[in-house]
Chains A and B, each alone.
Chain A
Amino acid sequence: MNTFKKIIFTVLVSFLLLGSANAGKIKIGTEGAYPPWNSKDASGKLIGFEVELAWTLCRYIGEQCEIVEQDWDGMIPALIMRKFDAIMAGMSITAERQKAISFSQGYADEVASLAVMKGSGLEGLDTPAGINLTKPNAAAKKALKTLTAALAGKTVCVQTATIHQNFLDSGDVGKVNVRTYKTQDEVNLDLASGRCDAALAAAVAFSDYAEKSGKPVVLVGPTFSGGAFGNGVGVGIRKDDTELLNAFNKAIDKARKNGDISRIATKWFGFDASM
């Protein structure tokens, strides 16, 4: 064997070895920009509720894991194109997304809320504390009417490809001027600058921002759940990957039974957001 062939052979063998070293690893995609669900610390390390939960679930599954970062707007396409095997990115389980991917059982739930800057005309809306849109009762329907009137012609900002955008697009609160942003951070910035009359996102995303930035962001109107807001947050998995789906479902069962999900949720949210 001449030297050239030897080099080629060595390179090929090392590729094979690298390939097999990666084969057993479950790759989990997260955004790293949606605190407290998932975010990054000052050194750029991924942290948050889902990052910690992901390691816990991997321990129960008994496989090596790797957490990879992915921009939110490309999350589902990246999963389908096999850049990673599972999504844990505060992604709510909705009928629309289920057309493209499967979801594990929910591991945590979030309520959405509108937020405005202190002193806004939208403060003090007369609505119930929370409404469920799966089967809206009379009070919920009345609240939607109140919101429709209050938000008419207003600019409401949301992160793109979210349940919050879907809800505003659905027309449940009439015709509002929807502005979409790549990240929640950008939504927060434009809410604070006054370009948005209101913003819609997970209630915790706003309280987290208000706390960290010291900006007078206040929640208004009811908290939303059900309907366009989906049924809790679950692990997103490719449709043909039933084996991994079962593994995650079992791991979530175990983690719930052992109190891991509650413990981690309380640590990051300040309350028990587990389900």
Chain B
Amino acid sequence: MDLELMANSFPKLLNAAVITLKLLSASLIIGLFVGLFFAILRLNKNIFLNKFAYGYSYVFRGTPLLVQIFIIYFGLGQIEYLRSTFLWVILKEPYWCAIIAFALNTGAYTSEILRSAFQTIKPGIVEAGKSLGISNKIIFYKIQIPIAIRQSLPAYGNEIILMMKGTSLASTVTIMDLTGVAKYIISTTFKPIEVFIVAGGIYLFMTFIIHNLIKFLEKKYSFN
């Protein structure tokens, strides 16, 4: 064990963890909106909208995240027509390609989490609102969404942690996130065990924070 290397690489890896957190938060925020949008489509009675939303979640949950990143980064980069459009400004940057892939991926899972949360809301609650003369729109925003969010917290907490670990794949498209910098240090020191132990420790610490944050929120919004 090269303790000196571990100590030296720690600040560099900590810096890189900031990139990881940026990737994670950007993907989660975009993914939450994408997920909510598709969850609402899933609940729609219109068969086309419903099937479209189902297809989206089916494709993105049924293929590996690595494949999705590669298709968006290397795959779309091969299409010559695309390179002459304004889309290329975004797709040229590995950072945005990674965020698009992560957001679409977590969006698919989030849509399923939210859909099942909406479906567990007892019809009685909605009916109670209606009997008080509250409009459908307000019932949806003020009653159904808050309950759905509470219901989905445990599952969504898991999704955040999975996504946090998923961001390590950003290093495959040249982004210098926590894993990317770890690999870079290994490429000059040839000591993978030491460096990956430190990087793994940082990931574990981030999981610890996220886990406790979700636990806190669960408690805060519990019905009891």
Q: Please report the C-alpha to C-alpha distance between residue A189 and residue B174 in the assembled complex, in whole angstroms.
A: 13
A sample of 13 inter-chain contacts (CB < 8 A) reads: A73-B183, A73-B187, A74-B192, A77-B192, A101-B190, A157-B174, A160-B183, A161-B186, A161-B187, A179-B94, A181-B174, A193-B78, A195-B94
Alpha-carbon separation in the docked complex, A193 to B174 (Å): 15
Secondary structure call for the A interface? helix
Chain B residues positioned under 8 Å from A192 (CB to CB): 78
| Residue ranges of A at the interface with B (Cβ–Cβ < 8 Å) | 73-74, 76-77, 80, 96-97, 100-101, 157, 160-161, 165-166, 179-182, 186, 189-190, 192-195
Question: How many angstroms between the C-alpha atoms of A186 and B192 in the bound complex?
Answer: 23
Contact across chains for B184 and A180 when beta carbons are under 8 A apart = yes
Which of A157, A161, A186, A194 makes the CB contact (< 8 A) with B74? A186
> Is B186 a contact of A195 with CB atoms below 8 Å?
no
In the complex, which range does the number of interface residues on chain B fall in? 10 to 19
Report chain A residues within 8 Å CB of B192. 74, 77
Does more than half of chain B's interface fall in helix, strand or loop, or is it mixed? helix
* Docked-complex contact B174 and A77, CB < 8 angstroms: no
B191 within 8 A of A: yes
**Chain A to chain B: the 7 pairs with minimum beta-carbon distance, closest first:** A161-B187, A193-B77, A76-B190, A100-B190, A179-B174, A77-B192, A160-B187
Q: Whole-angstrom distance from the CB of A111 to the nearest CB of chain B?
A: 22
Bound Cα distance A182, B74 (Å) = 13
Beta-carbon contact of B77 and A189 below 8 Å: yes
Within the assembled complex, what's the spacing in Å between the Cα atoms of A166 and B192?
18
Q: Looking at A165, A179, A190, A193, which has the most chain B CB atoms within 10 Å of its CB?
A: A193
The residues of A that contact B78 with a CB separation of less than 8 Å are 189, 192-193
Docked pose: A203 CA to B43 CA in angstroms = 57
Q: What is the bound-complex CA distance between A55 and B191, given in angstroms?
A: 30
When chains A and B are docked, how far (Å) is the Cα of A74 from the Cα of B92? 28
| CB of B172 closer than 8 Å to a CB of A | yes
Q: For the complex, is B46 an interface residue (Cβ under 8 Å from A)?
A: no
Please, which residue of chain B has its CB at the minimum distance from the CB of A79? B190
> Would you call B130 an interface residue if the criterion is a C-beta within 8 Å of the partner chain's C-beta atoms?
no
Q: Which residue of A lies closest to B175 (CB)?
A: A179
User: Is A96 touching B83 in the complex (CB atoms < 8 A)?
Assistant: no
Residue of B nearest to A96 (CB): B188
